[in-house]
Chain A
């Protein structure tokens, strides 16, 4: 009942706005209403920033942003619980069939992380870990010690493998890099990006993965205190060459993603998903603003802007 009433009010307001638009060529009525976003942790800091900036121009609009994993964002969007789902993985065909309309708004990436207290930290930093070894750690489970992970190191210390428990883009993307899906990732499941980061920080033998904006501190731009970002040994040479050393600061890693040095996946597009075209004027205006002016804030927030053709595509759907 409550929802119906709300919907009716919105339709009424929409009609009113449209009416005004046609009646006179006066200044557009100020936007009002609430826009709700729900979903991926990866997009959460960016969405909050966008909401703040957008509200400066449109004080009448309230924007609610909730994090709870990409899966929840998708479900909320498709069931009409949120205007936009924040989704940090590719969209499944089943979801498109149910009306999911995805707008690529920004890019980021997932990085492997270990505790800064890892006994073999300097070795890990020097040699990196190749993709094939990651597969043996997370998927097949055949690599069990840090010695094996570093290929021929005598260490017998067990690797404590961690993954995400909630249906999420970071795990789906990391699994995609390893050629699998989230349900195939082994290891102890921890809830949420902050949870996983905390688990890795406190366990010296842990390995996990995080979205860039949870692995790097937004103030210092260095990896968050207590964790270290694992270099991927891209060419499998057993050594991290200067060209592969792109993890020191957040700007280094986002630059590497932009130059496509860091592979994709684990770099990926982030989407706002709505069920059909966003109907409410405030929601549509917010999305249009993100695809145009909002892009200015991506780099300083630790993200990588999406290509102009993707922005164009989104805007053409909105028209």
Chain B
């Protein structure tokens, strides 16, 4: 018990002795992890948005004007009996016009001059939960496209593909930046540990002479590295949270994006804990690298 207490106390003493170096190490680690965190936050939110869009896939099946009422009913029946289809909603030409006028009041005069209602009747189809993969949607759309009475089938596939592509890029960038900045964090913490080792080389000599094992000598430095990493990552989470809240306030302020507010979210608690753990692991790695490189702590 006293041994453990001694090791923890030594790690704390190391950090206090080299206070300035410790603060600089925590701040720089926090900065690098914040950069990684920004990418992660964007990535997580885009994934969330992609999931939400996927959930909300609505396929517009536009009907030919010449389609009879019976033909339309038959088509509706066929769609409803399809196991890939979750729900079908019919929008008549009149309803489409009313909706257009409601959604775009400033542009409604454009249709006045045409005399006849140019908007087609349509079915708004929502696919069943298990049929919403991009491949399944594409296949279904191609199949419906060939049905009699169907003028055109439209859905927000482009948006989904674009978002998936964007997420792919961000994933790559986040990975690259993550690796690069993690290496930077390891180096920063490693250098701090090297300074601590240099400052306490006499003490290490004394410990060796009285029979301390290499592990006993190294543990305080491992603890110090891990503590620096944990503090740095916790601080980076704090910075990210503050930044995130400011961003959310801005989104709220701009009414145009007010709906977006519900879509964006910060890391869940489990992810926060994982990030702190990752920071701790980076710090630990930094001290291991440092001790290995200069061969300190060996008997």
User: Do A and B originate from a single complex?
Assistant: no
Give B contacts to A, CB under 8 Å: none
Give A contacts to B, CB under 8 Å: none
